[in-house]
A and B are shown apart, each in its own frame.
Chain A
Amino acid sequence: MIEIRHLRKEYEDTTPLKDVNAVINSGDIIAVIGPSGTGKSTLLRCINMLETPTSGQIIVDGQIINDGKCDLNEVRKKMGMVFQSFNLFGHLTVIENIMNPQITLLGRSRQEAYEKAMDLLSKVGLSSKALAYPDELSGGQQQRIAIARTLAMDPEIILFDEPTSALDPSMIGEVQSIIRMIAKTGRTMMIVTHEMDFAKKISNRVWYMDEGGIYEEGTPKQIFENPRQYNTRKFIQRLSTLSYRIESDEFDFEPVIDELQAYAEKLLIENERTSKLQLALEEICVNNLFELNREPNIYAQIDYSEKSDVLSLELKYSGEHFDPRDSDNELFNNILAEPTTELVDEEIINSPKWYNNHTKISFKWED
């Protein structure tokens, strides 16, 4: 249905898209994920020519649309777009926002357009707001109207450009459920999103974008559970994890501590717990493991689960075993003795990655 060949988009100071090649088939629901600034939105906006590609081709239904000869307005009528900032027409009521494009662009009668609009309004659950103006509605309501406006044009594909990013968290759900509802009707969709759970549940294809192109593509299961590429893995895991490989006793903990601080700040973890974790990391690694093993091989991972509110430090290492309970650091022992601290310490036999020791310390927050 849509084919993208060697698409390149340059701006004066950056080149978000270097070489993108892809095919979108009818019925696809594609989730586009990836770090900020990797050209996800740019790609979406190139597809309906809101951004003009620097080079390459975009072929819609067999027609090259970026050669300057194509009637873009006709092509755009086939592609709906839902924006991050809703972009409802501020001077028109909700019902007119949905009716007017149908009348102006599709030549429908007022009555026909009205009936279509009312039908869609009831589907998005906002029939009662038909005569309201956009600025009288909440963000979630506006986005639902914007989706209805797009649907009213009967597009062959709908492009969602971060549809929930500008929303209050309490309103994300209502918009996602509308998009899920559309997905069930089998319409072709492409969704740029930062909501990983949503992307995983709704899509049948996932494009992970990085380094100026589609870095890895696969089913949601592949991408989210078993990413093959390093960058993809890092992106998927980093969402809740910090991880380090410590392979020398000269290892510099300074940047780790900085990163941990920033991580804690972002996830609103209390300083007290972060300091406990920091102390544990230094006590086990620097004071003991470095002493026991001349050439340390440690994998350290810091996890924070928002749902269970647990911050944990997980260490896997090879070589001599060290039981944290044997520490002679009084402060560390006190922390271990607290009821909110949980320790797992075991030797692993037949480890696939040649780590033979596993230590996990979890820090809860007293209720």
Chain B
Amino acid sequence: MKKNIAKVSSLLLAALLLLTNLAMPAAVFAEQAPTKNGITSIEELNGKDLGVQTGVLYEDHIKDDLEGETWYYYKMPNDMIPALESNKIAAYLIEEVGFYAQRFEHPELVRLEEPVGVSDFAVIVGNNDKQDRLFAELQEFIAEGRSNGWLDQLYDYWVINWNPNTCKIETVPETTGENGTVSIAIEGGYEPFSFESNGEFSGYDVEFMMNFCAAYGYNWEFHAMEFDSIAPAVIAGKYDFGMNIVVDEERAEASVLTDPYYSCDIVFVLEGVTENGVHFMDGIKDSFYKTFVKEDRWKLFAQGIGTTLLITLCSIAFGTLFGFAVYMLCRHGNPLANKVMNVFDGFIHGIPTVVFLMILSFVIFANSSHITAISILGFTLIFGCSMFDMLKVGNNAVHRGQAEAAKALGYSDTQSFFKILLPQAAQHFLPIYKNDVISLIKETSVVGYIAVMDLTKMGDLVRSRTYQAFFSLIAVAIIYFILEWILISIVTRVQISIDPKRRAKSKILEGIREVE
């Protein structure tokens, strides 16, 4: 017995020595939980399809150690869960914190105990005239928070002990606001750092920045946007701070990054082995509850519909007027006006909508925070160009003799355009107009890139909290469909009502006495 103990303890000792000397990682970590696809170590991921969030650069830690793997990039961390569950990817990379947050809703998720690295997270400071001061102040605040342990407390509360049902900002700190307002770019759908709760933003990042602002006398303003737009938007100076930026050399050179305000392990997440016990209908009920009822999330959808409709309707109205005005200028073949318009038209139609919007928001109007107005401007220009093209096509489709006959009768140019040409051209271009209205509504879904909270973005936010793709996606799809249907019915009604050939015969001679 004693011999045995000695044997065991010597073996243990040897093992410990080996560990310390060779730093064999596997032994240090907790026991690896079984996974569905049987993968339990990093080497086994060679040649597999792997997921990672766009812009976080976690894959840089492990790229050199893997072979033949393919990376798939996802906008939101939670979108990787359905991808994993449908076997699109074998595993995905996420920071430890994100994993704990996800596991609360998805207990079937399992991490590889062996981390791929550690990431530091810093705040990026906007490239504008406030940059130097804000940078110094935030550096000071972070240093102080480290030394007095406040940052650790915050991390413990939001990350280590994360519980989505109970964690919230207990007390919103009071600020004097004497030094003005700072704008902060956050992901907004990223528990536990920033997420939407009861119509307010909450989370680690939010509480951290609120406290910073209170300490230095600023009012705060949070803007949620796609993760990969945060850094460009802040570097462009559009926002004062961008949260949750992974520190790497290239980034540190290109922009002003603070010291890390937290660090954590980056791990691979896989699907674990679970028994599926939830009844289908209960699952649906649960999803419905979480998507619409919990925390009054339907209000988010309503708000998103409002924004989408505002942008769509304003862009249609202004775009129609704009296209019409430009067409009137170009109508007589004014060579300068036509050349300018052709170049402009080519430019606008030639670049993807989302790129065009980002240029407007981050380059041309980098100092403006009226993002909804910028979106409306962008879509007005896009729709205006289509309108211009439509008028051109429509009027060309009207026989040349119509204008000539009007002219010969003595109609002035304006009279001939409005009384003879336009009513006929309208019947040619209105069907195209309808299609363009549909395209416009659909295209507005990219405004999330410049931090506008439209219907799609609201759906993303809800999805990031429910960890369930199905309901919010379907809901968003149905809402878009209904909006399109309503708008198309309106345009069709207009089309019919101004179609001269569909007038009632009795209307044509209204008010005229028959002569003998």
Residue of A nearest to B500 (CB): A91
- CB neighbours (8 Å) of A131 from chain B are 505, 508-509
Task: State in angstroms the CA–CA spacing of A92 and B424 once bound together.
Answer: 10
Chain B interface residue count: which class? 20 to 34
Docked-complex contact B402 and A89, CB < 8 angstroms:
yes
- CB neighbours (8 Å) of B423 from chain A are 91
Q: How many chain A residues touch the partner (CB < 8 A)?
A: 36
Task: State in angstroms the CA–CA spacing of A360 and B515 once bound together.
Answer: 64
Docked-complex contact A111 and B500, CB < 8 angstroms:
no
Task: State in angstroms the CA–CA spacing of A96 and B511 once bound together.
Answer: 14
Interface mask (A55-94 → B, CB under 8 Å = 1, otherwise 0): 0000000000000000001101101110101111111110
A334 beta carbon closer than 8 Å to chain B: no
B36 beta carbon closer than 8 Å to chain A: no
Docked-complex contact B508 and A93, CB < 8 angstroms:
yes
- Given known pairs A96-B508, A118-B515, the reply for A48 and B408 (CB within 8 Å) is yes
Which of B409, B505, B508, B515 lies in contact with A115, CB distance below 8 A?
B515
- Given known pairs A83-B401, A91-B424, A104-B419, the reply for A50 and B407 (CB within 8 Å) is yes
Residue of A nearest to B426 (CB): A91
Interface mask (B382-420 → A, CB under 8 Å = 1, otherwise 0): 000000000000000001011011111111100100011
A235 beta carbon closer than 8 Å to chain B: no
B254 beta carbon closer than 8 Å to chain A: no
- Given known pairs A87-B399, A91-B424, A91-B500, the reply for A105 and B408 (CB within 8 Å) is no
- Given known pairs A83-B401, A89-B405, A115-B515, the reply for A73 and B501 (CB within 8 Å) is no
Residue of A nearest to B501 (CB): A133
- CB neighbours (8 Å) of B30 from chain A are none
Task: State in angstroms the CA–CA spacing of A78 and B508 once bound together.
Answer: 27
- Given known pairs A91-B501, A93-B508, A111-B512, the reply for A101 and B409 (CB within 8 Å) is yes
A32 beta carbon closer than 8 Å to chain B: no
A114 beta carbon closer than 8 Å to chain B: yes
B513 beta carbon closer than 8 Å to chain A: yes
- State the Cβ distance, B150 to closest chain A Cβ, in Å: 75
- CB neighbours (8 Å) of A93 from chain B are 508
- State the Cβ distance, B415 to closest chain A Cβ, in Å: 6
A153 beta carbon closer than 8 Å to chain B: yes
- State the Cβ distance, A117 to closest chain B Cβ, in Å: 10
Docked-complex contact B420 and A89, CB < 8 angstroms:
yes
- CB neighbours (8 Å) of A87 from chain B are 399, 401-402, 404-405
A165 beta carbon closer than 8 Å to chain B: no
- State the Cβ distance, A182 to closest chain B Cβ, in Å: 17
Docked-complex contact B420 and A114, CB < 8 angstroms:
no
Docked-complex contact A105 and B508, CB < 8 angstroms:
no
Residue of B nearest to A81 (CB): B408
Docked-complex contact B505 and A50, CB < 8 angstroms:
no
- State the Cβ distance, B422 to closest chain A Cβ, in Å: 10
A100 beta carbon closer than 8 Å to chain B: yes
Task: State in angstroms the CA–CA spacing of A83 and B401 once bound together.
Answer: 8
- Name the residue in A79, A90, A92 with the highest tally of chain B Cβ atoms < 10 Å from its Cβ: A90
- Given known pairs A83-B404, A118-B515, the reply for A153 and B508 (CB within 8 Å) is no
Which of A76, A92, A111, A146 lies in contact with B407, CB distance below 8 A?
A76
Docked-complex contact B410 and A90, CB < 8 angstroms:
no
Docked-complex contact B401 and A114, CB < 8 angstroms:
no
- Given known pairs A76-B410, A100-B419, the reply for A110 and B402 (CB within 8 Å) is no
- State the Cβ distance, A136 to closest chain B Cβ, in Å: 10
Task: State in angstroms the CA–CA spacing of A146 and B509 once bound together.
Answer: 20
Docked-complex contact A77 and B410, CB < 8 angstroms:
yes
Docked-complex contact A76 and B408, CB < 8 angstroms:
yes
- State the Cβ distance, A139 to closest chain B Cβ, in Å: 14
Residue of B nearest to A78 (CB): B410
A95 beta carbon closer than 8 Å to chain B: yes
Task: State in angstroms the CA–CA spacing of A111 and B399 once bound together.
Answer: 30
Docked-complex contact A90 and B424, CB < 8 angstroms:
yes
- Given known pairs A90-B424, A91-B424, A100-B419, the reply for A114 and B512 (CB within 8 Å) is yes
Task: State in angstroms the CA–CA spacing of A88 and B424 once bound together.
Answer: 12
- State the Cβ distance, A363 to closest chain B Cβ, in Å: 45
Task: State in angstroms the CA–CA spacing of A83 and B509 once bound together.
Answer: 27
- Given known pairs A77-B409, A85-B401, A153-B409, the reply for A95 and B501 (CB within 8 Å) is no
- State the Cβ distance, A81 to closest chain B Cβ, in Å: 4
Residue of B nearest to A161 (CB): B408
A31-57 residues with Cβ-Cβ distance < 8 A to B are 48, 50
Docked-complex contact A111 and B513, CB < 8 angstroms:
yes
Docked-complex contact A74 and B512, CB < 8 angstroms:
no
- CB neighbours (8 Å) of B419 from chain A are 100, 104
Task: State in angstroms the CA–CA spacing of A90 and B401 once bound together.
Answer: 11
- CB neighbours (8 Å) of A83 from chain B are 401, 404-405, 408
- CB neighbours (8 Å) of B411 from chain A are 73, 101, 104-105
- Given known pairs A90-B424, A114-B509, A133-B501, the reply for A104 and B415 (CB within 8 Å) is yes
Task: State in angstroms the CA–CA spacing of A74 and B407 once bound together.
Answer: 11
Task: State in angstroms the CA–CA spacing of A110 and B500 once bound together.
Answer: 18
- State the Cβ distance, B359 to closest chain A Cβ, in Å: 42
B460-512 residues with Cβ-Cβ distance < 8 A to A are 500-501, 505, 508-509, 511-512
Docked-complex contact A50 and B408, CB < 8 angstroms:
yes
- Given known pairs A81-B408, A104-B411, A133-B501, the reply for A90 and B402 (CB within 8 Å) is yes
Residue of B nearest to A100 (CB): B419
Interface mask (B314-329 → A, CB under 8 Å = 1, otherwise 0): 0000000000000000
Task: State in angstroms the CA–CA spacing of A114 and B405 once bound together.
Answer: 20
Task: State in angstroms the CA–CA spacing of A221 and B476 once bound together.
Answer: 84
Residue of B nearest to A88 (CB): B405
Residue of B nearest to A114 (CB): B512
Docked-complex contact B410 and A105, CB < 8 angstroms:
yes
Task: State in angstroms the CA–CA spacing of A32 and B405 once bound together.
Answer: 21
- State the Cβ distance, A314 to closest chain B Cβ, in Å: 45
Task: State in angstroms the CA–CA spacing of A342 and B61 once bound together.
Answer: 110
Task: State in angstroms the CA–CA spacing of A96 and B505 once bound together.
Answer: 12
- CB neighbours (8 Å) of A92 from chain B are 500
- CB neighbours (8 Å) of A50 from chain B are 404, 407-408
- Given known pairs A83-B404, A91-B500, the reply for A110 and B410 (CB within 8 Å) is no
A-B contact pairs, 20 of them (CB 8 A): A73-B412, A76-B408, A76-B409, A79-B408, A81-B408, A83-B404, A83-B405, A89-B420, A91-B420, A91-B424, A91-B500, A93-B508, A96-B508, A101-B409, A101-B410, A110-B512, A115-B515, A131-B505, A131-B508, A133-B501
Q: Which 8 A-B pairs have the closest CB atoms?
A: A87-B405, A87-B401, A77-B410, A81-B408, A91-B500, A76-B410, A73-B410, A101-B409
B residues with a Cβ closer than 8 A to A are 399, 401-402, 404-412, 415, 419-420, 423-424, 427, 500-501, 505, 508-509, 511-513, 515
A residues with a Cβ closer than 8 A to B are 48, 50, 73-74, 76-77, 79-81, 83, 85-93, 95-96, 100-101, 104-105, 110-111, 114-115, 118, 131, 133, 146, 149-150, 153
Additional A-B contacts beyond A50-B408, A104-B419, A153-B409 (10; CB < 8 A): A81-B408, A85-B399, A89-B424, A90-B424, A91-B501, A93-B508, A101-B410, A104-B415, A115-B515, A153-B410
